[in-house]
Amino acid sequence: MNKILVCLLAALAGAGTVLPANAQEIVALAASPVVIAPPQTPLAQTIKSGLSAAYYGAAKGTTSYDEAQKLYFFYGSRHFEPIWLDQADNGSVVFSAPAQKIIKLFESAASEGLRPSDYLTPDLKLTATNADPAAMAALETAFSRAAMRYATHIYTGRIAPLSLSENLDIQPKKLDEAALLIQLASSADPVAVLAALEPTHPQFLALKAALATYDDSAKEGPAQVAAGKTLKPGMSDARIPALRVRLNLPAVADTIYDDAIVAAIKTFQTSLGLEADGVMGPATLTALNGGVPITRADIIANMERWRWMPRDLGQFNVFVNIPEYRLAINRNGVEEYTTRVVVGTVKNQTPVFSDNIRHIVVNPYWNVPSSIIKGEIAPAVMRNPAYTDNQNMDLLYNGNPVSPWQVDWSQVSATNFPFRVRQRPGPGNALGQIKFLFPNKHDVYLHDTPSKGLFSRTARALSHGCVRVQNPMEFANALLANEPNLSRASLEAMFGPSERWVNPQTQIPVHLAYFTVTVAPDGSLRSFGDIYGHNAHVIEALGLGTAMTAPAITAEAAPAVNELAP
C-alpha cells in the first residue's frame, strides 16, 4: 500500500469536517472561498512552502501563475500531502502505481499527436537525493503539473485559439483539475481516466488512426499527369495515355479526350465536390495528381483543432467546413444533407465558432455592416446620392429613412458617417430571399444570394464573411425536419415584399469549423486549401515546422469578384 497515499485518503475521508478557524487558511475566490488545510507532516509543510513560493511569486495572468494557483488550492485542501510518491521498505522514494501507469502514457504521447517531452520534463526524475523532503516536494508537484498539462492538452488542446487569431473565436473547454487529480490517484486504471478526455468525434478518431499508420517515407502518389492546357471533349493531347492510366481506363491507340474519359472525370470531380463538367482544368489536374502532400504536421494540427471543438456537437446539427466550402446537416453522426457554400475572403474571413440557429428570416432586409458602409457605401453615396436608390437601399438616421438628396455631403466624411444603411427586400437583395440567424458578435449568418454563378467555382472564398448557401430552400427544408409547424412550403408561402421572422421551436447547433484534412469513408486522406492560414499558424505554434499544405485544389481560371454582399 502506498504509505504516503494513506495520508491523502485519510484527509479526504474527513473532508466533511470543518476545522477550527485558527487552523485554516481561507483564500477568497470570485466564485467561493477555498479552505487551505494546514500541513500535518514535515513533508507536507515542505510541499506547502514550495507551492506557496511558486503561487505568490508568479505574475498574475501568466500560465505559471494559473498552474501554481491550481496546485496550491488542490494540495492545500488536502493538507499538502503527496499522492504520486511512495517510500519503499528500505526508505527509498518511488513513484506510486498510478504514477507509473501515467508515465507510460506520457511516453506514448506521440500517438495522440502530442509531444512526450512536454510531460516527461527534466524535473520528473527519481534520484538518490529524492529522499530529501524538499526534493520530494518538488518531484511531487512536478508530477501533478505534468498530469494536469497532459489532461488539458488531450481535452482542449495545446494552443489557445484566440492567441492565433481573433477569427478563431473558440473558448477552451473547462477542466476540473482538482477532481481529476483525485480520480487519477485513486483509480486502478488512470490511463482510462485520461483516455476518456480525448474527443470522440469520428473525424478526430479517424485522424488519430491515420497518424498511427502514417509513414512519410512510404508515400507514393498516384500516377502523374503532366501540366498542360485545359482538356475538353474531342480534343487530342499527348497526355491522354497517362490520363487513362490515372483513371484506370483501358489503353487505346488514339489520343482523343473521349466519352469514357469525360465520364470518368465527372465521377472523379463529383467525389471531390468539384464542378462535374468533365473538363480537365487546373483544379481537376491538381486533384488528379494528389494535390500537395499531406504531412504528419497537417494531421496533428487538424487533431488539435478538433480538440477545440465542443465535446457535443448536438444530435442534429449544421456543420460548415470553411476550407471545403461545404455545409452538411448531421443527425446522430450521419450526414442527411449537404450543399456548397461561399465563405469570406482572406480580407473578410468567416470566423470559426459554434452557436445555435434561432431565427429564420424570409424576405430579409440587409442591415449593412459598418465596415462595408465606411469602406464602400459611404464613398459611393457621397460621390453619387442616387447610389442608395440604385441599390434598393435606405439611408437611416436615428432609425428613420432620410433622402440622400437632402444631405449636405460636404459636411460628411467616410470616417464620420452618421447613417445606417439597409437594403430593402427584393430580387437583388444581397441576402436573397432567406437568411438563417444565430446572433453573434461577428454579425455573420447563413443566407441565400442572387449571385448563383459563384457556386460553380472551385475556390469560393468570395464573401464579406457570411456564409452563402447554394440551395437555401432545400437547406431550409432539411433544417426544419424536426419542426412540426414549419417546412419549405410554409416559408415559400411568405415570399413577398415584407420581412417575415420565423422562430423554430428547437434551436439548432451550428458549427463554422476549419479543417484542412479530413478522412474519407475508405480511410483515405483528403486535403483542402489553407485559405486563411490557420493551419500554418497552428503548425508553427505547436513547433512542428513549416506547413506543407498549400491549397490542394486551386481555382479554375476565372475573373475576379468585386461585389457588394455579405
* CB contact burial 350-385 (16+ within 10 A = b; e otherwise): bbbbbbbbeebbbbbbbebbeebbeebbbebbbeeb
Give 361's strand partners.
Answer: 435, 501
Q: Environment class of residue 501 by beta-carbon count within 10 Å: exposed (0-12), middle (13-18) or buried (19+)?
A: exposed
Grid coordinates representing 267 are: 465521377
CB atoms within 10 A of CB 400: 8
Q: Given 7, 466, 511, 537, which residue is catalytic? A: 466
Give 488's strand partners.
Answer: none
CB atoms within 10 A of CB 519: 20
Please report the beta strands in 358-439, taking only residues with DSSP state E, as ranges in sequence order.
359-362, 366-367, 393-397, 400-402, 420-423, 434-437
Grid coordinates representing 412 are: 460628411
Grid coordinates representing 76 are: 492545500
Q: Given 79, 442, 447, 534, which residue is catalytic? A: 447
Bridge-based pairing state of the strands 93-95 and 85-87: antiparallel
CB atoms within 10 A of CB 48: 21
CA–CA dist 491, 151 (Å, integer): 47
| DSSP-derived 3-state class of residue 33 | coil
C-alpha gyration radius of the chain? 30
CA–CA dist 505, 497 (Å, integer): 25
Half-sphere exposure of 83 (CA within 13 A, CB side): 30
Please report the beta strands in 322-475, taking only residues with DSSP state E, as ranges in sequence order.
326-331, 334-344, 353-357, 359-362, 366-367, 393-397, 400-402, 420-423, 434-437, 446-447, 461-463, 467-469
Q: Environment class of residue 487 by beta-carbon count within 10 Å: exposed (0-12), middle (13-18) or buried (19+)?
A: middle
Residue 447 annotated among the catalytic residues of the structure? yes
Catalytic residues: 447, 466
